[in-house]
Structure 1
């Protein structure tokens, strides 16, 4: 599969995971980086579109404006929407739009809440598993996020997979910490700064890494700062 065909297929279906696409990702760093960018862009756009407004907002705007202004508002809104649609389509085609400055990243609180919910929902399924995951398997799962580990992972890994993470995707790993099992999510969603959290018997931290983030979730009392530093030392851009 050539690069043009790969990009066409990823753009039409960013979450496609067939064997041919996975092979193209493994064989090309640029393909892996492009897929990560598209997945991140797709998630940011969906987050940006989720704006809650009052049900009667349209009626209040209409009734508060003279009829002549209503016509102007409708025309201006349609023109603005059309212009935005054209700019968005053109930006996707040329691949030059810097969406990082246009779309606001989800709040770190949302990252921690999503992570804790995910851990709680899958705890019963993952708890008895021990896949004894290798370095090669970890690097294979890291490919879509354009990261690799340069040496053996410093903890015993019980479980490793890709998963849906809110409106985005993530690498999902469970490994042995000092107090108990720790869950790691690496996602293409950006965060602004390191933040710890403690809620409903679970604790953890959100750690920015480049344009991505990793989230650690585990038992209260676990030294997440130490674990985070150990992981950052071996996690390198691909």
Structure 2
């Protein structure tokens, strides 16, 4: 199990523990620390949500609504509600401050495909930098199947990393493979685009290619010949019959 998959699974349920998760925690100190921090955060949130409710709360609210001026009890109740809201806000702030969400929060929905792709690549570089899964065509087709696409030939590059990921409000195939100048990232995302887009910004270079109701996005280093890569990859990605 790679680091990205581990974090996705443990974040979906901090208390979940199966054989694979236990092994990942045992073999990786960073995974163990991350799992422990999530458990502590989960406990903090649970504690913050535990607010005692007075037995006569409903009667007090109804009584308060019939009066024009707030009573001291109502003011006390308001203070309690404000305190609870502040506690929840603090916990939410703590949650976003401590967890590195990476691909869980990629970019605003209004961002362009190129901006989302660059943001995604930057955020996941540390996860995929040392991974070499040597993914095969069979594995690539398995990941592409939910997008109703498949390879009709041999993928022409060595694939280091292959997985599904969240991409803005949609899902995508996320692939990292060997280019001529460095590692190149491919996204096959279920967001349509109406034209070819070339981009060169934020120290990265790439292209967006329309694919029926989806888009193919290639991102690489500034020295990489992205057009050459697209010409090799695009013809072998075909709709499933």
* Normalised TM-score (structure 1): 0.54
Q: Partner of 2:112: helix, strand, or coil?
A: helix
**1:136, distance to aligned residue in structure 2 (A):** 0.2
State whether residues 170 and 188 of structure 1, in contact with CA within 8 Å, keep that contact through their aligned partners in structure 2: yes
1:200-219 alignment, distance < 5 Å? 200-219=202-221
Counterparts of 1:146 and 1:173 in 2: how far apart (Å)? 17
State whether residues 108 and 191 of structure 1, in contact with CA within 8 Å, keep that contact through their aligned partners in structure 2: no
Q: Partner of 1:130: helix, strand, or coil?
A: coil
Q: Partner of 1:162: helix, strand, or coil?
A: strand
Counterparts of 1:224 and 1:109 in 2: how far apart (Å)? 22
Counterparts of 1:208 and 1:108 in 2: how far apart (Å)? 18
Counterparts of 1:155 and 1:211 in 2: how far apart (Å)? 25
Moved over 4 A (4+): 106-109
Structure 1, unpaired ranges of 5+: 1-105
State whether residues 147 and 235 of structure 1, in contact with CA within 8 Å, keep that contact through their aligned partners in structure 2: yes
Counterparts of 1:107 and 1:209 in 2: how far apart (Å)? 20
Aligned residues: 133
1:8-157 alignment, distance < 5 Å? 110-157=112-159
Which residue does 1:29 correspond to in 2?
A: none
Structure 2, unpaired ranges of 5+: 1-107
**1:229, distance to aligned residue in structure 2 (A):** 1.4
**1:200, distance to aligned residue in structure 2 (A):** 1.3
Counterparts of 1:206 and 1:108 in 2: how far apart (Å)? 16
Larger radius of gyration: 2
**1:108, distance to aligned residue in structure 2 (A):** 10
Q: 1:108 to 1:166 in 2, by over 3 A?
A: closer
**1:177, distance to aligned residue in structure 2 (A):** 0.7
The Cα RMSD (Å) is 1.7
- Deviation track 1:130-155 (CA, whole Å, cap 9, x = no partner) reads 00000000000000100000121000
Which residue does 2:171 correspond to in 1?
A: 169
**1:114, distance to aligned residue in structure 2 (A):** 0.5
Which residue does 1:230 correspond to in 2?
A: 232
